[in-house]
Structure 1
Amino acid sequence: MLWLIFVCAFLIVVYNIRKPPGLPPGPWGWPVIGYFPPRGETLPDTVQRLRRKYGDIYSWRFGSLTLVVLSDYKLIKAAFTKQECSGRPWIFTLQYFTYFTGKGLIFSEGRPWQESRRFALRHLRDFGFGRSSLEKVIHPEVTSLLKDLEGRAGRPTEVNWNLNVAVLNVLWRLVADRRYDINDAEIIHFEKMIRVNLDIIKGAAVLLDIFPWLLYLTPKFVLNSWMRIGQMEKNAEEFKQFVMSIIEEHEASLNPEKPRDYIDCYLLEMRERQDDANTVFKRDYLDLLVSIEDLFLAGSETTSSTLRWLVLYMALHPDVQAKVQAEIDGVVAKGALPSLADRAKLPYTEATIMETLRMSSLVPRGIFHCNSEGDVNIAGYNIPKGSLLVPDMEKCHRDPQYWEKPDQFYPEHFLSQDNQVITKKDGFLPFCVGRRQCLGESLARMELFLFTAALLKKFSIAPPEGVKLSTETNKHRPAFNFAKPFEVIFTSRE
């Protein structure tokens, strides 16, 4: 019996040493551990170094994960338009957001993902998603934010959770027919919980992604104290109860003749398909719950974080800010809010927003894809089933092949010679690309334009006297490029 255990252990070690044939070049590392960057080197620095050494596609074994990093725009686009590359890996910290059900809009795959995504797009459009009619929902939130900032004008202030709530209210109106006061304590509490959980999955908890078996070997007090899994569980459960209470309220007041929002439409779809054993629209509410949380997560934090970056870049680049304001002043009447009808007449404003998306690269390496159905060929290499496909979007956004001044804030990157906005540009993929392209892109672009144009029409933005602002991010938390907390001074222009 002992010899059998020895042979099995030997075979496992040999399997871990052997690199599968056909993979792109790249470091394979030690058995079980894989390749870890040198001590003190951050993940962004490692990615840069490996790209310089191995090229625009390379593989990297990281613990139990096989990563295939794509650092070229055309490679990413070609790979992510393949159906077989549209899966999601089963990663602990990501599946935590689905309560380990694999449901919802972001982390599901296969037929459940296709069914949920089609339903969301169809019914959110019915309530104005991506259409100019949504302007009447966005404008009150813009006005609310301007009024709040007006009360702080003239003194150093941080653009804090009031911005998150203003952005979130737009989505909540579509999803749950609700809105909250811009300083509502309950909704700010839940927004903060989301940020805390995002921070946790960027920290020590990532070891459970790299070595899943640690979950079963690590003492619970270590999981809770060092990896903060207990805090994440508590936040997730509290948020679940919050969303479930909203669903139950909708169920109790549902009128089949007059659906009010996305939740009503979903509940009606559940009733209509209650005899279909294969549908995601089941009476356990799990897919609905996770889909709402996905919309909450993706629709508020990303847009509000991008707007924070825009405020920071305007404070750092007063020349760009002045050009945007001059353009807006020439188009939008005094006392009026900018509207979507003005968008085509404000190309420099639109280009400035797009340049903010490029420079910030909020999710620098995107959300991992996976070829979960089988092996796939990418650029002549054989990528084994279950590999993590990592789009290095930040590298694309700084690639001299596509950008005249890749490391400078330069809105002219998105303007043609006749001063028209270049809406689709190679090398630019802030909402990713392909079959998994962000379904909220049209809403995000509308919100970014209306909030930005209104902010810069109403206020001038400058750093406090003697304060040097920085665009440096925390490289030890590389999953998201969040701006570090900063203060600016808003001065009314009216």
Structure 2
Amino acid sequence: MWVEVALLVVLVVILMQLLKKPEGLPPGRWGLPLIGYIPLTSKNLEEQLEDLHRQHGDVYLWRMGTQVMVFLHNYRMIKEVFNRPDSLDRPDWLFFNINEKPPLGVGSTNGGRWHNNRRFSLRQLRDLGMGKSKLVGKVHEQAQWLVKEMKKQAGKPAPIPHALSVAVTNVIWQMVGSRQFEVTDPKLKEFQDIFDEFLDSLTRIFILDFMPWVQVILPGPIVNKLCKLDVVNRTKEKFVDFFKAVVDENQATLDRDNPRDLIDSYLIEMEERKDEVEAPLHERDLVFILIDLFSAGSSTTVDTLKFLFYYLAANPGVQTKMQAEIDKELHGVLATLEDRARLPYTEAVIHEVLRMSSLAATGVQHMVIKDIQLGGYSIPKGSILSAVAASIHHDPRYWKDPHRFLPERWIDEDGHFTSKKEGFLPFSVGKRNCLGEALARMELFIFTTTVFQSLSVAAPPGKTVNPGHDPSRPMFHSPITQDVLFTVRE
């Protein structure tokens, strides 16, 4: 009997140790081993994070499955930790690597591969005109073509046309692969559909990211059905097949003395470094760089512009004021980057849309590679850091009347636009901030000025426009598909 009692006591002690949150960790939700803390609530993720923020402050944790998630609501703390070399890695998640092992490209890689691929991509994009005047003409062409397509639906309530996605995608693809899509291109439409399916399936895909042991204990067909693993693999194969064909076309017509685009430059450098042992370049790595540029360089800008149309349709006074500035300063001439200083209110509108929309609501996650100290707490190796951007963008510590759409907050007392705002991180911060930020800013400015020189947008008669985000995609802020009414300006 005493043996049984002793075993029971040992078992209870072991269970208590397993259930107990280690000392020194941030406050928050700990839960059970393997499954973490599963809340029984109807609140969505952001509402729960706000509750935890009010309860615990700027740093708290939530163990989700096997992942120790540390959420951050302090801008300066985020800026500091995201610049530290021990906090630069991405988690080994399907969401990032789409089941490619080891991860390739820029978005999901770490260490030397990430450093080399990012440095190469950034250098090439800058050389090809990212954020510079020499690319403005190409953006003008796509913006004018978009206006032409939008005019076709003027006067008729309809969703924002597919031409917006084509125009934005063509800007990045002119730089990357010297190619242009037509609005009727079935391949581009197919890609957007499969990418949308991937985003719609994220809630199920994250089961494997947070509970990888599911794949060990359940049969493959059940894992596939439960976790949408087939969507991940189909997404990857579709993308790989397409971009591999593009690379092969460039390879067949490559002129090593006259590189046309990023693909050509990579192929040339790959040949030059083929004998390197430590950091050789690979064609499949190039394919995944292209996947990253396609997804990050087009879909986010498209969604931001959709939000901009919705906010201006819902706030006609702001739209009228912005158009008056554009008309007065540009006199019908297309804007260039040098015109930004003369269009402070237009810049303010764009930045207010970036703040209000907060596409990456909980940021892009980082993983710490060793035990660190942060905010007075111990953060163990392998923990995931998440900057809650949407919360910071609506935090009264940083913004007066944070839930109001108020472009005037970006204008100083002298009437000048001021972009240096603490608490503003739509492109993240630190060494892994958005690779294409300069391109996105350029596109948002030129597309906005070009469209609203020629068109106005409003809610359809008898209806309203909702500039909020789609609740079916809890991890990101995606615009709601809805009808708007474009009219041609006289």
Q: Which residue of the partner structure matches residue 59 of structure 1?
A: 61
Work out which of the residue numbers 290, 293, 299 in structure 2 matches 1:292.
Answer: 290
Match status 1:310 vs 2:311: no
Deviation at 1:104, TM superposition (A): 1.1
Alignment of 1:351-370 (within 5 A): 351-370=348-367
Superposed CA deviations along residues 411-466 of structure 1, whole A, max 9, x for unmatched, are: 01211111111122101000000111111000000000001111111111110011
Root-mean-square deviation over aligned CA pairs: 2.0
For residues 8 and 431 of structure 1, the distance between their equivalents in structure 2, rounded to whole angstroms, comes to 51
- Is the CA contact (8 Å cut-off) linking 1:56 and 1:72 kept in structure 2? yes
- What SS class does the counterpart of residue 60 from structure 1 fall into? strand
Match status 1:490 vs 2:476: no
For residues 183 and 36 of structure 1, the distance between their equivalents in structure 2, rounded to whole angstroms, comes to 45
Deviation at 1:244, TM superposition (A): 0.2
Give the 3 Å change call, closer, same or farther, for CA 460–488 of structure 1 in structure 2. Answer: same
Work out which of the residue numbers 435, 441, 447 in structure 2 matches 1:439.
Answer: 435
Q: Which residue of the partner structure matches residue 236 of structure 1?
A: 236
Name the amino acid aligned to 1:287: D
For residues 183 and 403 of structure 1, the distance between their equivalents in structure 2, rounded to whole angstroms, comes to 43
- What SS class does the counterpart of residue 434 from structure 1 fall into? coil
Q: Which residue of the partner structure matches residue 119 of structure 1?
A: 120
For residues 237 and 327 of structure 2, the distance between their equivalents in structure 1, rounded to whole angstroms, comes to 48
Name the amino acid aligned to 1:322: T
- Is the CA contact (8 Å cut-off) linking 1:376 and 1:382 kept in structure 2? yes
Aligned-residue identity in percent: 39
Q: Which residue of the partner structure matches residue 261 of structure 1?
A: 261
For residues 35 and 228 of structure 1, the distance between their equivalents in structure 2, rounded to whole angstroms, comes to 22
Q: Which residue of the partner structure matches residue 342 of structure 1?
A: 339
- What SS class does the counterpart of residue 331 from structure 1 fall into? helix
For residues 183 and 331 of structure 2, the distance between their equivalents in structure 1, rounded to whole angstroms, comes to 26
- Is the CA contact (8 Å cut-off) linking 1:44 and 1:475 kept in structure 2? no
Q: Which residue of the partner structure matches residue 101 of structure 2?
A: 100
For residues 33 and 216 of structure 2, the distance between their equivalents in structure 1, rounded to whole angstroms, comes to 20
For residues 155 and 220 of structure 1, the distance between their equivalents in structure 2, rounded to whole angstroms, comes to 49
Deviation at 1:13, TM superposition (A): 5.3
Name the amino acid aligned to 1:37: P
Uncovered stretches (5+) of structure 2, i.e. residues with no partner: none
Q: Choose 427-436 or 272-281, whichever is displaced more.
A: 272-281
- Is the CA contact (8 Å cut-off) linking 2:24 and 2:377 kept in structure 1? yes
Alignment of 1:36-75 (within 5 A): 36-75=38-77
Q: Which residue of the partner structure matches residue 245 of structure 2?
A: 245
Uncovered stretches (5+) of structure 1, i.e. residues with no partner: none
Deviation at 1:226, TM superposition (A): 4.1
Q: TM-score, normalised by structure 2?
A: 0.95
- What SS class does the counterpart of residue 191 from structure 1 fall into? helix
Superposed CA deviations along residues 343-395 of structure 1, whole A, max 9, x for unmatched, are: 211000000000000000011111100112x1111122111111000101111
Work out which of the residue numbers 60, 79, 82 in structure 2 matches 1:80.
Answer: 82
For residues 107 and 10 of structure 1, the distance between their equivalents in structure 2, rounded to whole angstroms, comes to 41
Give the 3 Å change call, closer, same or farther, for CA 15–296 of structure 1 in structure 2. Answer: farther
Name the amino acid aligned to 1:84: D
> How many residues get paired?
484
- Is the CA contact (8 Å cut-off) linking 1:393 and 1:430 kept in structure 2? yes
- Is the CA contact (8 Å cut-off) linking 2:314 and 2:467 kept in structure 1? no
Give the 3 Å change call, closer, same or farther, for CA 295–326 of structure 1 in structure 2. Answer: same
Superposed CA deviations along residues 16-38 of structure 1, whole A, max 9, x for unmatched, are: 42323321111211232211222
Name the amino acid aligned to 1:302: T
Superposed CA deviations along residues 125-173 of structure 1, whole A, max 9, x for unmatched, are: 1111121111011111101111100111001021142211110100001
Give the 3 Å change call, closer, same or farther, for CA 329–274 of structure 1 in structure 2. Answer: same
Deviation at 1:476, TM superposition (A): 5.0
For residues 242 and 185 of structure 2, the distance between their equivalents in structure 1, rounded to whole angstroms, comes to 15
Q: Which residue of the partner structure matches residue 210 of structure 1?
A: 210
- Is the CA contact (8 Å cut-off) linking 1:280 and 1:287 kept in structure 2? no
Give the 3 Å change call, closer, same or farther, for CA 10–296 of structure 1 in structure 2. Answer: farther
Name the amino acid aligned to 2:338: A
Q: Which residue of the partner structure matches residue 472 of structure 1?
A: 468
